[in-house]
Chains A and B, each alone.
Chain A
């Protein structure tokens, strides 16, 4: 049992959970994730470690309510617990030093981007961050992102805050005007794909893929993606990959495998016992 020591609502449909998980808190690094099973009949779902506190034995998860499992999680409160959490899984992010790095976060992607940006900053890189969402009510952690960025830019589709338009507009602009060495892009698949289209091959691009998973340890192969023509397992070979080489078309279509089943279980709206 992994007890929730703090729950907060960060934005529309976005919740933060601080969870007691001593072993994972000791080991976690930016870029890694955990597999969470909420209760006896729940799915195992992957969630990024958005923060960790080694002294307090806790990790922070940020959950966007998108379907059945995440909406069940949204109902939990401080004092409740998750039945199972396994991790930290996947490779930690590769952290350079002395570079100018552009961080691009779409929607919930702000959560995984934050600890990477902080580590980049601490390692002596210049960090420029672009965060975006459909509207300002979906944005969160501007304060935290501000603290770890030399420059923070905001984009909303409806223009309710910052630039009106997509994050990619700002990416194009930054790449044109600054010497960017490297780009991290984390968010919905469509957004990462869009960023990959506008970042030139010469600039390193890292994306973190949110493939469908079961075990998260390399034993099922359900999370496979094509990268540079080779099949990789996202959970153990990633989750970060070279964004120029990912076959996004396949990736996005593999996301729809259980679309009908997801809609079915959501409509039933059963509660987990």
Chain B
């Protein structure tokens, strides 16, 4: 008889983990993976698959795990999802595959993400086989941005036989996987492996190339590129436009996380990039970015870390697992709270934040009840660091320099579900089209665009 309740994921204990940057979730043991795989009903019409944006063949890969064919299971996932080690760790499964799993009605869906991670980690242990692909088709493609959207698009195009080059603004690849999501949630060796794999496929990567500044689209056309995929992410941080935001000790989450992850400021002075290690830190926001910032601040040595969020707990967009992790680690949540101003001293250093209490009013456009200010409810939290994690806007650096490219009123590129933009031969996907979304959606967009680009190029050479 198979077990009824899901296998739990073992984690580093809270007191140890809140002081180190090592991965929190330790992964399933073989025995746990098989037990969990056993629980799956291998449905003929698997509802779980409907919930996965890239339609991973879930019952099939779970069956392979049950049969102890772990590497085969990983390859099965890879047929539709080229980054299972990443997605198994960071997909918001509770809103996707695990939400639609038939067993979730009873409250205990199969832990699909944990199984996906298990299979991918087994593949990593066994060493993945790759062979260089020699392009067989005409039409060079430039993929701009090396986040999940760009990486997926490039791999798919290479597999379809097209010569591809990735152009990346930073000195390293991976986009948010590298500079946003911290080591304790997504170890960087996983991102590195994926990039090694891509290089072995024969895909060229040019770093330090800020398209729009270092080269223009025209230059790339002159270099022989026939089609373009734009996957530059949602790259410019939003501020609240309240007094005190330029005080010393106020960070955007982008800056804070980039210093910590990409620049390894947690290892200062071995790594030369500094970061302010606050004693009392408040993070404004309720998404994954806010959780990652708060938990990073804790690991840098803060005595107290608060989250300030203007709605209530149920509206928090962060993954439930990460909200729970944050709570376990001792992060305090000020819900229905919104900053009014940030307070500083004469040397421009932040000393406190004044907040309003909020209450929920009528539903807004997003269907969530709109938070409204409770007048006269102001109170002050004393602190020395504020991290603003209220979202990103589209970075206009490249998009404003492409003639004829249609943007919406927020500056995001207008593209259809196949990635087609208003410029012939130019495709786009990921956060730059949708605004901040998820890794798997960005990958899905990269894949769809790869297929459309292939059709476009075949049309050109006919």
Chain A residues engaging chain B, CB cutoff 8 angstroms: 23-24, 27, 37, 41-44, 68-69, 72, 83-89, 214-215, 217-222, 224-226, 231, 233, 236, 250, 253-254, 256-258, 261-262, 264-265, 268, 270, 272
Contact = CB atoms under 8 A, between A and B. Distances in A.
Q: State the main secondary structure of chain B at its contact with A.
A: loop
Interface string B268-284: 11111111100000000
A268 B269 contact: yes
A85 B239 contact: no
B259 interface: yes
B248 A214 contact: no
B402 interface: no
A224 B246 CA distance: 7
A254 B248 contact: yes
Which of A83, A85, A218 has the most B CB atoms < 10 Å from its CB? A218
Contacts of B270: 41, 270
Interface size class of B (residues with CB under 8 A): 35 or more
Interface in B230-281: 235-237, 239, 241, 245-246, 248-249, 251-252, 254-255, 258-259, 263-264, 268-276
Given A231-B246, A257-B276, A265-B274, A217 B397 contact: yes
B169 A43 contact: no
Top-9 shortest CB links A-B: A261-B274, A253-B348, A220-B255, A84-B171, A221-B252, A86-B208, A219-B235, A265-B269, A258-B274
16 contacts: A23-B215, A44-B273, A72-B272, A85-B208, A89-B210, A215-B170, A218-B396, A219-B236, A219-B237, A221-B236, A221-B252, A222-B251, A224-B245, A254-B246, A257-B276, A265-B272
A252 B397 CA distance: 27
A253 B136 CA distance: 58
A224 B210 CA distance: 20
Given A41-B271, A218-B236, 14 more contacts: A27-B215, A42-B272, A44-B171, A44-B273, A69-B272, A72-B272, A87-B214, A88-B214, A217-B395, A221-B255, A224-B246, A256-B248, A256-B347, A257-B249
Contacts, number: 119
Contacts of B273: 43-44, 214
Contacts of B169: 86, 215, 217
A225 B348 CA distance: 13
B239 A231 contact: yes
A215 B255 CA distance: 9
Interface of B: 169-171, 207-210, 213-215, 235-237, 239, 241, 245-246, 248-249, 251-252, 254-255, 258-259, 263-264, 268-276, 347-348, 395-397
Contacts of B271: 41
Contacts of A84: 171, 207-208
Given A84-B208, A86-B208, A231-B239, A219 B395 contact: yes
A231 B254 CA distance: 17
A219 to B, nearest CB: 4
B210 A253 contact: no
A23 B236 contact: no
Nearest to A253: B348
Given A221-B237, A250-B246, A268-B269, A214 B259 contact: yes
A217 B354 CA distance: 31
A222 B259 CA distance: 10
A86 to B, nearest CB: 4
Nearest to A260: B274
Contact of B269 (A85, A220, A270): A270
A258 B258 CA distance: 16
B239 A221 contact: yes
Contact of A43 (B210, B236, B263): B263
B245 A214 contact: no
A174 B249 CA distance: 41
Nearest to B241: A231
Contact of B235 (A85, A218, A256): A218
A44 B268 CA distance: 14
Nearest to A224: B246
Nearest to B172: A84
A236 B397 contact: yes
Which of A88, A214, A258, A262 has the most B CB atoms < 10 Å from its CB? A214
Nearest to B269: A265
Contact of A253 (B171, B245, B248, B263): B248
Nearest to B168: A86
Which of B207, B236, B246, B275 has the most A CB atoms < 10 Å from its CB? B246
A208 B191 CA distance: 38
A214 B241 CA distance: 22
A262 B274 contact: yes
Contacts of A256: 248, 347
A75 to B, nearest CB: 14
A69 B272 CA distance: 8
Contacts of B254: 219-221
A193 B142 CA distance: 44
A86 B210 contact: yes
A181 B373 CA distance: 50
